[in-house]
């Protein structure tokens, strides 16, 4: 299982890992690349923590070293942070296409979750600036330009995912509240159940949060590479093992 995203994956990370572990018997490897503000194109920084770009992290090298799996399923979501960092649509699309190409080499069945365009387009210029200042450091691209780029990226990402035979899911407006890009806490279980049900589980997935203790342990697992206060840290992978043959790898 390959989980690729940013803050929405991070906020629900214990839920996702626990649900997949519950729903699939036998040997299982979960590979995740996620994190608040995560970028496909460049290093991204939130407060004092930095993470490498999704296309440049160690996930792809590790996957190339792994023995072929009987089945590989992949989730891609949270595509859009790069726009707020000022990256052009064409550049974002090229990097995401590189990810699709890498996943195709592993014969991964792909699920792509679109941007919450319906909710994003309700933002005013003032609201956008507040969200930008709170969540994304750096220069502010004008809302008039960002809103155009969001629509263009969403349309072209849908075309790209279709070309790669991906299952495409459109977020429901009811998943979001005042925050236009993060799924509300009360909606996370039902939202991710809908996402996971798009994967070909033999039976409907069991979607539930783990215990508080286990959730904290999963949130605290560290990726292979990150920086704190510009000091690089490296963590050996897998970063978590639930039982022999069932592991979690983070990049």
Q: Compute the average pLDDT of residues 75-104.
A: 96
Give the per-residue pLDDT at 138. Answer: 76
Give the per-residue pLDDT at 29. Answer: 97
Q: What is the pLDDT of residues 184-228, one digit of tens each?
A: 999 999 999 999 998 878 889 999 999 999 999 999 999 999 999
Give the per-residue pLDDT at 68. Answer: 87
Count of alpha carbons within 13 angstroms of residue 204, beta-carbon side: 5
> Mind giving me the DSSP string for 30-84?
EEEE--TT--SSS-EEETTEEE--GGGSTHHHHHHHSPPPS--EEEE--TTHHHH
Give the per-residue pLDDT at 140. Answer: 87
Q: What is the pLDDT of residues 54-84, one digit of tens each?
A: 999 999 999 999 998 999 999 999 999 999 9
Give the per-residue pLDDT at 8. Answer: 97
Q: Compute the average pLDDT of residues 7-32.
A: 96
Give the per-residue pLDDT at 201. Answer: 83
Torsions phi, psi for 191 (to 5 deg): -65, -45
Residue 102 neighbours by CB under 8 Å, 6+ apart: 60, 63
Strands 109-113 and 73-76: parallel
Q: Compute the average pLDDT of residues 223-244.
A: 94
Q: What is the pLDDT of residues 28-61, one digit of tens each?
A: 999 999 999 999 999 999 888 999 999 999 999 9
Q: What is the pLDDT of residues 126-141, one digit of tens each?
A: 999 988 887 787 788 9
* pLDDT for residue 239 is more than 80: yes
Q: Is 163 in a helix, a strand, or coil?
A: helix
- Could you tell me if 41 and 12 are in contact, meaning their C-beta atoms sit under 8 angstroms apart? no
Instruction: Count the domains in the chain.
Output: 1
Q: What is the pLDDT of residues 151-196, one digit of tens each?
A: 999 999 999 999 999 999 999 999 999 999 999 999 999 999 999 9
CATH of the domain at 51: 3.40.50.1110
Cα–Cα–Cα angle for 85, 63, 199, rounded to 5 degrees: 80
- Could you tell me if 123 and 78 are in contact, meaning their C-beta atoms sit under 8 angstroms apart? no
Q: Residue for token digits 């155009």?
A: 148
Domain holding 9, by residue range, is 2-250
């Amino acid at each position: 299982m390959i989980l690729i995203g940013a803050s929405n994956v991070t906020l629900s990370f214990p839920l996702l890992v626990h649900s997949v572990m519950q729903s699939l018997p036998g040997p299982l490897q979960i590979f995740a690349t996620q994190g608040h503000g995560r970028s496909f194109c460049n290093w991204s920084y939130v407060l004092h923590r930095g993470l490498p770009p999704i296309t440049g992290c160690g996930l792809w090298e590790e996957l190339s070293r792994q023995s072929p799996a009987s089945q590989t399923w992949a989730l891609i979501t949270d595509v859009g942070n790069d726009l707020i960092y000022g990256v052009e649509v064409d550049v974002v699309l090229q990097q995401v296409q590189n990810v699709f190409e890498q996943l195709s080499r592993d014969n991964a069945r792909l699920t792509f979750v679109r941007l919450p365009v319906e909710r994003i387009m309700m933002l005013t210029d003032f609201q956008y600036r507040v969200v930008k200042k709170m969540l994304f450091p750096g220069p502010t691209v004008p809302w008039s330009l960002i809103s155009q780029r969001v629509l263009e990226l969403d349309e072209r990402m849908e075309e790209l995912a279709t070309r790669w035979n991906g299952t495409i899911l459109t977020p429901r407006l009811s998943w979001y509240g005042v925050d236009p890009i993060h799924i509300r806490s009360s909606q996370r279980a039902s939202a991710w159940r809908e996402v996971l049900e798009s994967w070909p589980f033999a039976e409907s997935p069991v979607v539930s949060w783990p215990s508080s203790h286990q959730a904290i342990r999963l949130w605290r697992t560290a990726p292979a590479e990150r920086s704190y206060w510009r000091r690089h840290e490296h963590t050996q992978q897998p970063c978590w093992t639930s039982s022999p043959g069932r592991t979690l790898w983070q990049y």
